[in-house]
Structure 1
Amino acid sequence: MGSSVFALPASAAERNRFHARSLEHQRPLSFVTMALSIGAYALFAGARAQLVAAPFPVWITVLAGLGLVLLVLAIPRSRSTAEFGLIGAAYVVIMQLAGNALVRDTGDPLVWMTPAVVAITLCAAPLWLTPRHFLLGSVCYYASTVPFVLSLPHDVAQLAIFGVWVVIAFTTAVVFHFGFYHFRYRHFKLEEALTALAATDALTGVMNRRAFLDEAARFIATRHKSGRAVALLFVDIDQFKSINEQFGHGAGDKALQNVADAIVQHAPEGALIARMGGEEFVVLVEEQPPTPIAGLAQSLRHAIAQIERPDGFVTVSIGVARMQGEGGDDLAALLERADEALFRAKQAGRNQVAFERGASLVAVRNTAANDALPQTVAPATMLRPRWRDVALVSHFQPLWSLPREKLIGIEALLRGEDGQGALVPPAVLFGGLSAAELGELDVLAHRCHLQSAAGRLPEGARLFLNILPSTFIRPGYEAELASMVDAAGLAPGDIVLELLESDDAGPDALSLAANRYRDCGFLIAVDDFGARYSNLDRLLRIQPDLVKLDGELIRARNRRSGRPLLRDLVTLLHQSDIVVVVEGVETTEELVLAVEAKVDIAQGFLLGRPNASPAPASTTPTRIDHAFDLAAEARAVRMSRFDCAIQPWLSGLAEASRQVQAGVPYAESLARLLAGRQCVRAFALGPTGRPALFEARGAARTEPPMSLHNGSDAAGGRWDHRAFFWKATHKNGQAVYSGPMLSPLTGCLCVIASIAIDVGNQQVLIAVELDWASPDLPWPEAA
């Protein structure tokens, strides 16, 4: 702002903004001040009429008063500083000229005029918007006093007195005007600073979400009117969480700042750039025909890929959407389509640009809140069981078969209602209960659920009932439960018992009890597998029909590559003949993850919220079908990227094998492969996987601290049982790959490219082990 007493705007643009803002503030103040001065003018005219016998210039007074009123009424309608300044100049001139007429023939005009000259000057000084207005207005005003001066008697004393008053009034007015101008300017600077602070992301310096939404609406409306196209780029930093977790939030903040700087540098002039939260940025641009939006997105991705992070380079996934025409589109729809495209870019392996493919069937991030069915109460004739003065009611959440896209079951959840029908918090319903009371409530819940589901179970769906382990192992309860099921008009085969995670029963007792329930026809599920007491030993003892995975297992990822581990867990359970259920599916991303992992059944808010009605949402099969489409598209992209990434290694290995057959030493033949960025080692093995004919470390080989594999090599080992060996020997002379697999020497996930060739009279296998744990590398698709 400057340290001078009267700081002035530093640039023409800032001066224009300041004066425009001052106009908004000054209108009401000037309106009130000038309106009050009309009252003072009327009092002045009245005093002149009463105290002076000389003729009163009525028509001048009335005409001047009417002009002043019109000028005051014009103040709120002024649209520019020039209009406002013109109104002010006309006002003081009319005021002074009217005063000239009123003091004529008073006998002592100096006494009548001097207070008015001082008052008008001082009162008007703060109201001038700009110094230019002040100076021009003062010149006009004092020019209008010339007729008064000329009418004074040629008395040097009177002229001197009047001159002194003018000097005093003008000097004071200068101080008033520039002091008030400086005050308004400081206030304007503070207001701009606060506005910028509220609209700017403090870390990256670009707009924040709130400011972007405000500006983007105006940006789109302006382009719509002129018929110009608009595009939105949704940018997400890949694997950003790993930066914070492995290297600290300082490294994460630096990455965010660098990405924001790169976007600002490469985005076209006039683009709106904002950080939407976390590691997400948006760029709203007007499409320019010479530069297609695809080129902008790719250049932006390449530019960001040059930014270093502690373990490599930053990459981003970008989703692109275009405005789809006037009247049928808005900012929210544009953001949703770009978000859906971003999601597909991430599913395709990240470090990608994906474009919208039409209207989105479902929101990528939102849960199925809008699909929840209206709450329906149980039939009035149903007698609700009670517990601690609380009426027990059943809510049902659907479970969907993913491959069949069909409702497979509904889980019954216990809820409580008070006397007004409001739901009771779980802490009140279940809190402070002894083991015996919990068992009693568990049995009461089964009666409530079976009574609520009687005659209302959707066709082909099973009823999932939670059961405590202590209730599950209680002698004879299987027969008691079968009797309750029969009374509800259901069969035990319609019921899936979800064994809750608890430590109140041992694996042996649970295993024996499971056999009794199976003999009655019930199906058995283990809930929250992987949490606390629900471990693998318990699972293998009980041998359930279904397993519900704990949410933490669903979201588990490889710590280096970020690859989801869900598919490996599902494969393990499938090999034990167990159907896999995932709970807590709330977003399309999680649903796609379940589809890719070959999960059998899914449950969660995205697929249906708990509801008093057992009927499921009708839109859920569409959501599941959409997830399969996204998974298929992502799989095709990943496979294409993997083929592109592995092909140079396969070609290089084939060329190296030809050199070996031509008699070139292994070290020389494999030198180019060993220098590759991902090569951990290259080796050659005899026909039975031993002996090791050659081994050398590659450019990617590092010794991790505290590793069991430090200093290890292939010498003395046997490798003919590994996939890279038997796949290559089966396709003799053809380079193949295997993996991902855990490297026996480095302890990291790797892909091995190998080829079996005949050298002399024996078969030799040549292979290169590639570090494939980087988040940048696409994974091969397993069967």
Structure 2
Amino acid sequence: MGEQPISAKREIVRQDTLTGAIVLAASLLFVWTGGKTVSNAIQGILGMGQGAEQLLATAMLLNIALILFGYRRYRDLLIEVQQRKEAEECARRLAETDPLTGFYNRRTFEEKGAAMVALTRAEGRPVALMMLDLDHFKTVNDLHGHAAGDMMLKAVAQRIHDAMPDAALVARLGGDEFACACPFESDETGDVDTLAEAMVHAITQPVDYLDGELNISTSLGVARSDADGDTMDKLLRRADIAMYAAKNSGRNRHCWFEPDMEKTLHERNVLEVGMRKGIAANEFVPYYEQQVDLTTGRLLGFEMLARWESPTLGLVSPESFIPIAEETGMIGALSFAVMRRAFADAALWDSTLTLSVNISPTQLRDPWFSQKLLKLLTETGFPPSRLEVEITETSLYDNLSLAQTIIASLKNQGIRIALDDFGTGYSSLAHLRALPFDRIKIDRSFVISMSRNSESAAIVQAIARLGESLGLPVTAEGIESEDIERQLLSLGLAKGQGWHFGKPMTVEDARRLLAERDMLANGTAATGALDMPDLDTDEAPAPAAGPSPPRRAAPGA
């Protein structure tokens, strides 16, 4: 709300002054006329005079009217002043606070935080600045609507308020980000840890909504003011960096800022910028890991693995770029770009060979995912019956009903569905009952360690027996030695993959291997780069013509 123009204020003052002068004059005149009129009226009643003169009586009545007018104007003026004060207070509140939570906004938090830092520095005490970001808050809005999201934000704000000491500053910086600042004794960082842990724990408690509950967690970063040059801008940036370090460490925790984190953030930003350019430039390519019949040694197909052949960074593993792609929303475009190339490659293999692809949890929250995938299969000419889509248990936590719809749509087109990394989730059996899976894949961490870890061996055996009882074939990942292969065979497992059969290979190496085994489609050349069709989808840029990826020595098969 803006202030009134100066001219308007002057007009109000002029009117009030004029009204006051009229009332004062009327009061003085009332005293004079009233005295005369009343005196004459009394004399007339007593028969001692002619009574009140008509003119004086009229003047007195006019004075009374003017006085009443002045009183009403005075009362209206008091009401107007009160309303003006309330409007100014409301405008101040809106300018300083967040209307949803009542917390300070970013601008006010920075101003008051700077004053707090300066004051505590003079006292020889640091300030702990905490920044919180709610984990997967967008999912709450997507699944339950913005009303549920607002309710969640207000509940979180109340819990932050209850946890922080009275001297603390609290703010909502925007969206689902909050910040707190409070002074502490320089050698009592444990108190800050206790406070941060209490906030993280409080926020994880369920929020009642309609007939159910909403659940959320938070990642919290902490920075402290020590040096004279520590401004609020620096503290906010450091707390933000620490907050993302907490997210990368598993979320639902707090983390103190360390100087090395800035280097890590810079490296991450370099990767993110390079990825955006790399998707458009077709730098992300499919590599292929063999899937083998453990009984006969026959090649059954390949699992597609994404690799980034960056001209500046070299060959980048998915462990480095997949988390960034998921956080920044690039995973859809990246995945479809790589799958497009893989489908075109696999269409030229022997028709008995299958192709497995991994689907990100983010993609499984897209209601149009199945339509996009089927469109891509049609454009590349790859049969849906040869495709196996692998999803992890974590993909199913957010919205099981949507996952069921997507999986049913894919299966109706002949695509097979595998539950990947089985055994690492919290509700594996429930998911096997709820969804029509065609295969179970044992997580590689159990397979790799089964020779030296009896617990891992017992888990692999239990999963093999479970698959047998449910009539679901089981694939073992992470086979890296002949000894592990023998153990799996003894358990009755018939399909496996791992470096024991060869490392993931480029399309040229895969085509060369297939040519040696006479497993290319009729008329397909054994060497040379694959000419990519000029196709396009809504999710990924069409591959540009250019040189094929550099050749590498074929791994042993």
TM-score higher than 0.5: no
Higher RCO structure (Cα 8 Å, ≥6 apart):
2
Q: TM-score, normalised by structure 1?
A: 0.33
Q: TM-score, normalised by structure 2?
A: 0.44
